[in-house]
Amino acid sequence: MTKDTAKHGGGGGGGAGGGDHAVRCVLADDHLVLRQALKQLLERRGLEIVADEADGQAAVDAVQRLSPDVAVLDVAMPVLNGVDAAREIARIAPSCPVILLSGLDDARFIREALKVGVRGFVQKSQGADDLVHAIEEVRSGRLYVSPGASQAIVDACATPAAGDGSHLTPRERQVLQLVGEGKSTKQIAEALHISVKTAEFHRGRLMKKLNVHDTANLVRYAIREGWIAP
């Protein structure tokens, strides 16, 4: 990125959030066209996109590898959804704030996101300026919510949390999502960087907790509870 490009963004010579260098960002969305468009828009405003990924696990790996200043994640992604990816990022890189895109119509995800420390909520219907402003705010240690989305946050916090899968561990939710995506036990192990035996263990505990005895019912549960799209 050229010096002139970095100066084009808001907040001074460092792009969003100011400073002596462009803000380094990991971007993740499984829709290629949208991801490429967001990357171009953010780069025009002086941010440096150090990685753009198509799934939540790849985003987590990129954060661990590249130590960015901020991570912008879609909520609905394969392998790891945005909330579970945010949880992993909080564990491995607590100084990297996370902004979630969309998902503000689902109280369960909002509650979980707040619980794991997500700092920004941006609706995809908003313009790029809103996302840039969100990055500036979370980089300053503040919480940012898109205009018009504040009520969704309030409603989520006020809604009882029954049936939100909170009795499942983060790893069990990851396995549930992958089963729902049609992955075999071996593919789950590869996606989560664990052994096949460990994947089998988590899958068995998950089925026992949910009192289901076959993959079809496990997938139906994942769809009904909103962990995967039908």
Nearest to 70 by CA among 111, 119, 37: 119
Domain ranges in the chain with CATH number 3.40.50.2300:
3-158
Please tell me the predicted confidence (pLDDT) of residue 14.
52
The sign of the dihedral angle between the CA atoms of 198, 204, 206, 208 is negative
pLDDT digits (tens, 9 = 90+) for 56-68: 999 999 999 999 9
Distance CA 205, CA 99 (A): 31
pTM above 0.85, yes or no: no
Residue range(s) of every CATH 1.10.10.10 domain in the chain: 170-224
CATH architecture assignment, domain 170-224 = Orthogonal Bundle (1.10)
pLDDT given at position 105? 62
Torsion angle defined by CA atoms of residues 162, 222, 190 and 84, in that order, rounded to the nearest 10 degrees: -40
What integer pLDDT is reported at residue 183 of this predicted model?
Answer: 83
**Quick one: 3-158 is in which CATH superfamily?**
Response regulator (3.40.50.2300)
Over residues 139-185, the pLDDT tens digits come to 999 988 887 665 566 665 555 554 445 577 878 888 888 887 788 88
pLDDT of the chain, 230 residues: tens digit per residue: 433 433 333 344 455 654 557 899 999 999 999 999 999 999 999 999 999 999 999 999 999 999 999 999 998 888 888 988 999 999 999 999 999 997 666 666 777 788 888 999 888 877 788 899 999 999 999 988 887 665 566 665 555 554 445 577 878 888 888 887 788 889 889 988 899 999 899 888 888 888 887 887 787 777 776 666 55
Percent of the residues in the chain that have a pLDDT greater than 70, as a whole number: 77
